[in-house]
């Protein structure tokens, strides 16, 4: 089937198998490798992207429903003024170890802060349900707090 | 070859110059005799063997742009090894940190690291040779700079990558341009620790930006033109074999390229990953179970008394004390099989072209990966180039790279690049699990509450044995599986009469290396038992442990971390408002760790709010990353202790997905994890695993105070 959608502000028209998971379209058809495959069953969060403002596990999101949607992947976070404040906070707090899960965490965090600039602990725990086998959770928390602080105290230009 | 090396006489230097623009220097290291001597030492001292080995291949390369590239023999799997090695190298080369680029060495760089990346051995093993090599490299340039300046080498100053003499200056890059003939000098003196510019500093990891921007640095991200996707279908059962495959069952499915049926594997190949996956779901394969096996059978196999015993450590003989005792205290513990569950599944991209192979793969063991492929495809090793990528988590899993072999085979057959990674379910099925264990401990105590006789029996599936990860020679020399008994040794110098026995369980499934090997299970058993004994004689757990440490250097270091963690955590035996603290400690190799947790029980679940960890790991290269490793170990250990287990039901391995195979999530992660690093001028020791040791026992010991129930199994259940 034919679908049309935008990723990171660019428009795409593709002829796809409507059942194919969005993850493989992103990674293999569009060659954006920042979105990772971990489980293919919406269980780990490594493949998280933002679709129309919602953090979404792209491994379990069929191509057919992508039609008309606007998608942001990790590659779409940077702008002219540099890294997204969430990415910058991740660097400042030296979060990644192996790094494989981090795109997913960063995307889930960006979506969370777009919805709730000052999330409660419960909102954080409910939104960041991804898994990190290296155990970077304490630093993810610190980085998230730093991002919250920077994004709520500074003018919005960097976002 | 230059003149003889004084401090590194066994090291052999190789040197290459490419078209006058780059100079590289490498070293190969000799093996057999050294291995043997080291192993003898192990058997005598009870220390783990790899702690005594260095012997990798290391390459430096300087180019005319004044960049220095260091090819690391160790692979970055999250542990920060590339950054730590860079700090060591940059210090010894006396360059600006930014001048240094660190890349993974591929197998085309020459002879390979005999060891693999793992067991917390990288920094410890490389600490000396890498500094010697860097210093030699530096000296090569100093000699050339001296010629340039028309002075003596010892008059040349080097700071931040700039060589100077009076008002003349030059750089590594300039010297590369003008030098025609390089000589390898003797290894000069190493830099004075007081002058370290980078070592000991919390330098941010080199790979941060790539990892927060999603750069394609993992093997799964690799692509080549004309690539096809293969899905290899592993056997879903243990003790079973494949009796039939019907390739026609996928006929006509979209994108199918081929079905490969070989003795050792079956694969479906298609133009896209999705097509390959769909076809693999439809492929008709018949598996036949040879003998029905259930979880309880596995547990019976892993039981002290079953299988072959090896006495692995013996103090003065405890037999009489046991015979004459009025009371022998005994205690039992079990741990289940665990999965690696690293987030990137195993796999590789292989490209066979013109008689040679290039394999992009997540591997902790480049040498073995290459050997396996060359053997299976009957190719010369020279024709197989293994290019290690960043690992998306490994924890021991990436010591085995079956899919790299299969992808290579398929690529040769189809004459196309083949991308081949497991699905998550297959990753669980094809795992080499952390072995299940059983522990039986016995002790006799005197009136003063001192242990007068101690026996520790640990039964485990294989870790090292039966695996070809280690150079074969080790298995010949060592009887018991030192991976299985890691952590089981008596490291309390104050206990004099003891015997430690390792039982080898013969299991019908693959078990092997998992972060820390036996450490998690064995320390869980010993340190839980210590608390039980302390309670028995009415002595508090801290004093009881202190009483069993003597004045040897190693005991004193353990005592120091123990005392420090008590102070740091304000440890108390008192339970207040449903909150309790628990403590445990261990010595692993020459690293000492003590941990305290604070926890409560809510809705029958253990909720850990604080973890305090004090570690003495010798000199610290990068304090921030040592802390990160401690945090990671604590969380992985907690996850294993509180949530994880793999079981066998009707021969099927399960669970096969995260969720049912539960990992710790952010929600459950303790709010506060505080790490303290002891100051030390000892050489750096292993740290990527030792902090895994005490955590489970610390949790069990705290929980006991709340429930009066001794936890004897993982996943820990506070109420039963
Ligand atoms: S890959 Fe999508 S949630 Fe795991
Ligand atoms: S950083 Fe390795 S899985 Fe999260």
Angle, helices B122-149 vs B81-93, to 10°: value is 30
Question: Model confidence at B507, in pLDDT bands (50, 70, 90)?
Answer: very high
Does the beta carbon of B78 lie inside 6 Å of ligand 2? Answer: yes
Q: Give me chain B's average pLDDT, please.
A: 89
Does the beta carbon of A103 lie inside 6 Å of ligand 2? Answer: no
Joined together, the tokens standing for residue B124 give 């410890």
Per the rule left: phi > 0, alpha: psi between -120 and 50, beta: everything else, B78 is left
Domain B305-336+432-707 is in which class? alpha beta
- Indicate if A11 and A53 belong to the same structural domain: yes
For residue B218, the 8-state DSSP code is B
Q: To which residue do tokens 């100093």 refer?
A: B142
Give the lowest-confidence range in A28-37, B17-26, B230-239, B403-412.
B17-26
Maximum alpha-carbon separation in chain A: 46
pLDDT tens-digit map of B60-96: 888 888 999 888 878 888 888 889 989 999 999 999 9
- Indicate if A90 and A70 belong to the same structural domain: no
- Indicate if A128 and A66 belong to the same structural domain: no
- B273 at A interface, C-beta within 8 A: yes
- Indicate if A102 and A61 belong to the same structural domain: no
* Boundary-marking domain end, from A49, A75, A101: A75
Instruction: Sort out which chain B residues have CB atoms less than 8 A from A36's CB and list them.
Output: 218, 220, 343-344, 392
- Indicate if A18 and A38 belong to the same structural domain: yes
Q: Say if CB A22 and CB A66 are below 8 A apart.
A: yes
Going across the sheet that includes B437-445, the strands are B308-314, B498-504, B451-460, B437-445, B329-335
Residue B477 CA to residue B607 CA, distance in Å, equals: 45
| pLDDT exceeds cutoff 90 at B365 | no
CA torsion, ordered A145, A150, A152, A154, to nearest 10 deg: 170
3 state SS of B319: helix
- Indicate if A69 and A101 belong to the same structural domain: no
In the A/B pair of chains, how many CB contacts fall below 8 A?
173
pLDDT of residue B388: 87
Domain B224-290+346-421 is in which class? alpha beta
Q: Say if CB B80 and CB B391 are below 8 A apart.
A: no
> What is the share, in percent, of chain B residues with pLDDT greater than 70?
88
The architecture of the domain spanning B8-201 is 2-Layer Sandwich (3.30)
pLDDT of residue B553: 95
Q: Is the full-model pTM beyond 0.90? A: yes
User: CB A75 to CB B631 under 8 A?
Assistant: no
User: CB B628 to CB A140 under 8 A?
Assistant: no
- Indicate if A95 and A141 belong to the same structural domain: yes
- Indicate if A126 and A148 belong to the same structural domain: yes
CA distances from B96 to B123, B159, B238, B298 (A): 21, 9, 54, 56
Burial class (CB in 10 A: 0-12, 13-18, 19+), A41: middle
Residue B215 CA to residue B123 CA, distance in Å, equals: 26
Joined together, the tokens standing for residue B557 give 């270091």
Give the distance (Å) from ligand 1 centre to CA of residue B661: 14
pLDDT tens-digit map of B270-314: 999 999 999 999 999 999 999 999 999 999 999 999 988 999 889
Ligand number nearest CA of A55 is 1
Task: Report if residue A23 sits inside a domain.
Answer: yes
Give the distance (Å) from ligand 2 centre to CA of residue A102: 6
Task: Report if residue A118 sits inside a domain.
Answer: yes
Query: What count of Cα atoms within 13 Å lies in the side-chain half-sphere of residue B359?
Result: 37
CATH, residue A48: 3.10.20.30
pLDDT of residue B271: 98
Instruction: Sort out which chain B residues have CB atoms less than 8 A from A141's CB and list them.
Output: 666, 669
Question: Model confidence at A158, in pLDDT bands (50, 70, 90)?
Answer: very low
- Indicate if A9 and A71 belong to the same structural domain: yes
pLDDT tens-digit map of B616-642: 999 999 999 999 999 999 999 999 999
Characterize the bridge pairing of strands B22-28 and A70-72: unpaired
Q: Say if CB B386 and CB B366 are below 8 A apart.
A: yes
CATH 3.30.365.10-classified regions of chain B: 8-201, 224-290+346-421, 305-336+432-707
| pLDDT exceeds cutoff 70 at B441 | yes
Of B214, B340, B341, the CB nearest to A103: B214
Give the distance (Å) from ligand 2 centre to CA of residue B600: 28
User: CB A133 to CB B393 under 8 A?
Assistant: yes
Instruction: Sort out which chain B residues have CB atoms less than 8 A from A135's CB and list them.
Output: 631-636, 639, 664, 669
User: CB A33 to CB B221 under 8 A?
Assistant: yes
User: CB B628 to CB A94 under 8 A?
Assistant: yes
Q: Give how many domains chain A has, as a whole number.
A: 2
pLDDT of residue B467: 74
- B487 at A interface, C-beta within 8 A: no
Most confident segment among B304-318, B443-457, B465-479: B443-457
CA distances from B130 to B60, B127, B185, B306, B629 (A): 10, 6, 16, 45, 22
pLDDT of residue B9: 36
- Indicate if A46 and A106 belong to the same structural domain: no
Task: Report if residue A80 sits inside a domain.
Answer: no
Residue A59 CA to residue A79 CA, distance in Å, equals: 26
pLDDT of residue B716: 97
- A62 at B interface, C-beta within 8 A: no
Task: Report if residue A128 sits inside a domain.
Answer: yes
pLDDT of residue B475: 56
Task: Report if residue A68 sits inside a domain.
Answer: yes
3-state SS track over B633-702: HHHHHHHHHHCCCEEEECCEEECCCECCECCCCHHHCCCEEEEEECCCCCCCCCCCCHHHCCHHHHHHHH
Residues within a 6 A CB radius of ligand 1: A 37-40, 42-47, 57, 59
pLDDT of residue B129: 76
Q: Residue A146 sits in which domain range?
A: 85-152
Q: What is the DSSP annotation of B151-209?
A: S-GGG-EEETTEEEETTEEEEHHHHHHH--S-------PPPPGGG-SSTTS-PPPTTHH
Q: Say if CB B88 and CB B621 are below 8 A apart.
A: yes
| pLDDT exceeds cutoff 50 at B334 | yes
Residue B472: CB atoms within 10 Å: 8
Residue A127 CA to residue A107 CA, distance in Å, equals: 11
- Indicate if A117 and A54 belong to the same structural domain: no
* Boundary-marking domain end, from A75, A107, A133: A75
Q: To which residue do tokens 């010297």 refer?
A: B175
Task: Report if residue A133 sits inside a domain.
Answer: yes
> Which of B347, B350, B234, B230 minimizes the C-alpha distance to B279?
B230
CATH, residue A145: 1.10.150.120
| pLDDT exceeds cutoff 70 at B18 | no
Residue B56 CA to residue B4 CA, distance in Å, equals: 20
Task: Report if residue A115 sits inside a domain.
Answer: yes
Higher pLDDT, B475 or B384: B384
Residues B491-495: what's their mean pLDDT? 96
Residues B605-611: what's their mean pLDDT? 98
Burial class (CB in 10 A: 0-12, 13-18, 19+), A156: exposed
Q: Say if CB B441 and CB B300 are below 8 A apart.
A: no
Of A41, A100, A140, the CB nearest to B344: A100
Q: A102: cis peptide before it, omega within 30°?
A: no
Task: Report if residue A36 sits inside a domain.
Answer: yes
Give the lowest-confidence range in A9-13, B452-456, B521-525, B586-590.
B586-590
Q: Say if CB B562 and CB B546 are below 8 A apart.
A: yes
| pLDDT exceeds cutoff 60 at B46 | no
* Boundary-marking domain end, from A41, A75, A109: A75
- Indicate if A128 and A67 belong to the same structural domain: no
């Amino acid at each position: 089937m034919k679908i049309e959608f935008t990723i990171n502000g660019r428009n795409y028209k593709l002829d796809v198998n409507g059942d194919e998971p969005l993850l493989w379209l992103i990674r293999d058809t569009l060659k954006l490798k920042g979105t990772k495959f971990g489980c293919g069953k919406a269980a780990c969060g490594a493949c998280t992207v933002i679709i129309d403002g919602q953090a979404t596990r792209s491994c379990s999101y069929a191509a057919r429903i992508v039609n008309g949607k606007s998608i942001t992947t990790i590659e779409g976070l940077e702008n002219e003024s540099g890294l997204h404040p969430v990415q910058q906070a991740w660097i400042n707090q030296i979060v990644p170890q192996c790094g494989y899960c981090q795109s997913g965490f960063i995307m889930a965090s960006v979506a969370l802060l777009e919805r709730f600039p000052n999330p409660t602990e419960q909102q954080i725990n409910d939104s960041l349900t991804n898994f990190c086998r290296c155990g970077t959770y304490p630093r993810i928390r610190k980085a998230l707090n730093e991002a919250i602080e920077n994004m709520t105290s500074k003018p919005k230009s960097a976002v | 070859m230059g003149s003889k090396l004084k401090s590194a006489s066994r090291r052999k230097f190789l040197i290459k110059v490419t078209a006058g623009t780059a100079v590289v220097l490498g070293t190969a290291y000799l093996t057999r005799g050294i291995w043997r001597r080291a192993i003898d030492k192990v058997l005598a001292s009870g220390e783990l063997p790899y702690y005594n080995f260095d012997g990798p291949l290391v390459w430096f390369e300087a180019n005319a742009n004044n960049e220095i590239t260091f090819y690391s023999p160790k692979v970055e799997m999250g542990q920060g090894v590339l950054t730590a090695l860079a700090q060591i190298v940059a210090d010894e080369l006396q360059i600006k940190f930014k001048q240094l680029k660190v890349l993974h060495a591929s197998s085309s760089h020459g002879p390979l690291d005999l060891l693999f990346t793992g067991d917390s051995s990288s920094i410890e093993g490389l600490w000396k040779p890498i500094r010697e090599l860097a210093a030699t490299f530096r000296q090569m340039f100093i000699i050339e700079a001296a010629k340039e300046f028309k002075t003596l080498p010892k008059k040349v100053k080097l700071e931040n990558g700039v060589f100077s003499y009076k008002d003349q200056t030059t750089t590594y890059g300039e010297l590369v341009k003008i030098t025609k003939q390089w000589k390898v000098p003797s290894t000069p003196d190493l830099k004075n620790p007081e002058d370290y510019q980078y070592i000991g500093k919390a330098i941010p990891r080199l790979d941060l930006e790539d990892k927060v921007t999603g750069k394609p640095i993992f093997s799964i991200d690799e692509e080549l033109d004309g690539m096809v996707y293969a899905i290899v279908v592993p056997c879903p059962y243990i003790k079973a074999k494949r009796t039939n495959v019907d390739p026609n069952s996928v006929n006509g499915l979209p994108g199918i390229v081929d079905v490969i049926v070989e003795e050792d594997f079956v694969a479906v190949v298609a133009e896209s990953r999705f097509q390959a996956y769909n076809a693999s779901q439809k492929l008709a394969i018949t598996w036949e179970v040879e003998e029905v096996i259930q979880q309880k059978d596995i547990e019976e196999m892993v039981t002290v008394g079953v299988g072959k015993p090896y006495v692995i450590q013996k103090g003065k003989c405890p037999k009489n004390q046991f015979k004459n005792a009025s009371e022998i205290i005994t205690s039992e513990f079990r741990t289940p099989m665990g999965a690696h569950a690293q987030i990137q599944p195993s796999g590789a991209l292989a490209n066979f072209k013109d008689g040679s192979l290039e394999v992009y793969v997540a591997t902790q063991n480049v040498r073995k990966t290459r050997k396996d492929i060359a053997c299976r495809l009957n190719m010369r090793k020279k024709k197989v180039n293994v290019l290690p990528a960043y690992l998306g988590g490994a924890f021991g899993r990436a010591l085995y790279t079956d899919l790299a072999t299969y992808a290579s085979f398929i690529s040769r057959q189809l004459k196309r690049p083949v991308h081949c990674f497991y699905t998550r379910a297959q990753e669980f099925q094809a795992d080499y699990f952390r072995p299940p264990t059983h522990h039986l401990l016995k002790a006799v105590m005197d009136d003063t509450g001192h242990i007068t006789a101690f026996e520790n029996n640990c039964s485990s599936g294989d870790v090292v044995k039966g695996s070809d990860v280690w150079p074969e020679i080790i298995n010949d020399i060592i009887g018991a599986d030192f991976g299985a008994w890691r952590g089981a040794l008596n490291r309390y110098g104050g206990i004099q009469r003891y015997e430690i026995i390792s039982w080898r369980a013969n299991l019908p499934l693959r078990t092997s290396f998992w972060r820390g090997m036996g450490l998690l299970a064995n320390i869980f058993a010993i340190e839980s038992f210590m608390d039980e004994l302390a309670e028995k004689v009415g002595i508090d757990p801290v004093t009881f442990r202190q009483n069993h440490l003597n004045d040897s250097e190693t005991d004193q270091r353990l005592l120091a971390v123990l005392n420090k963690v008590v102070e740091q955590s304000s440890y108390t035996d008192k339970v207040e408002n449903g909150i309790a603290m628990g403590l445990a400690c261990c010595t692993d190799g020459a690293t000492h760790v003590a941990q305290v947790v604070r926890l409560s029980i809510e809705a029958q679940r253990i909720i850990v709010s604080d973890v305090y960890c004090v570690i003495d790991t010798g000199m610290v290269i990068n304090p921030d990353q040592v802390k990160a490793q401690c945090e990671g170990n604590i969380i992985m250990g907690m996850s294993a202790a509180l949530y994880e287990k793999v079981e066998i039901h009707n021969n099927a391995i399960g669970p096969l997905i995260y969720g049912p195979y539960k990992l710790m999530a952010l929600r459950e992660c303790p709010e506060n994890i505080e790490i303290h690093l002891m100051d030390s001028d000892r050489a750096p020791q292993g740290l990527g695993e030792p902090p895994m040791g005490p955590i489970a026992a610390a949790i069990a010991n705290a929980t006991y105070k709340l429930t009066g129930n001794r936890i004897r199994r993982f996943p820990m259940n506070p109420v039963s």
